[in-house]
Amino acid sequence: MTTYMVGLKLETGSRTLTIEAADALRAAIISKIENPDAAVTYVRKSNQRGDRRHPHEGLELEHKA
């Protein structure tokens, strides 16, 4: 599995999640299921160096792909 960063736009602002998934589409779908009112703004592979400096939230649930 690969780690993806998913950007979400909510009514109150934006949010970034770290999700482990088989591909970018699955990461976006998992994010949308967990946050149905949010708009997915981007999905990208996690950047290990930058993400360690600026950590993001991860989903608490395990998802099998």
Q: What is the mean pLDDT of residues 9-34?
A: 92
Residue 16 lies in a domain: yes
Average pLDDT on 27-32 reads: 94
Is 55 inside a domain boundary? no
- Whole-angstrom Cα distance, residue 30 to residue 60? 12
Residue 40 belongs to a domain with what CATH number? Answer: 3.10.20
Neighbours of 54 (CB within 10 A): 8
Helices (DSSP H) in the chain: which residue ranges? Answer: 24-34, 48-53
pLDDT of residue 2: 86
> Within 13 Å of residue 22, how many CA atoms lie on the same side as its CB?
4
Give the count of beta carbons closer than 10 Å to the beta carbon of residue 30.
20
Residue 30 lies in a domain: yes
Range of the domain at 30: 2-46
Q: How far, CA to CA in Å, does 14 sit from each of 7, 62, 63?
A: 7, 23, 23
Query: Does the residue 18 lie in any domain?
Result: yes
pTM of the entire structure?
0.70
Name the least confident of 7-21, 22-36, 40-54: 40-54
pLDDT score, position 25? 94
Q: Considering its fold, how many domains does the chain have in total?
A: 1
Q: Would 35 be classed as within a structural domain?
A: yes
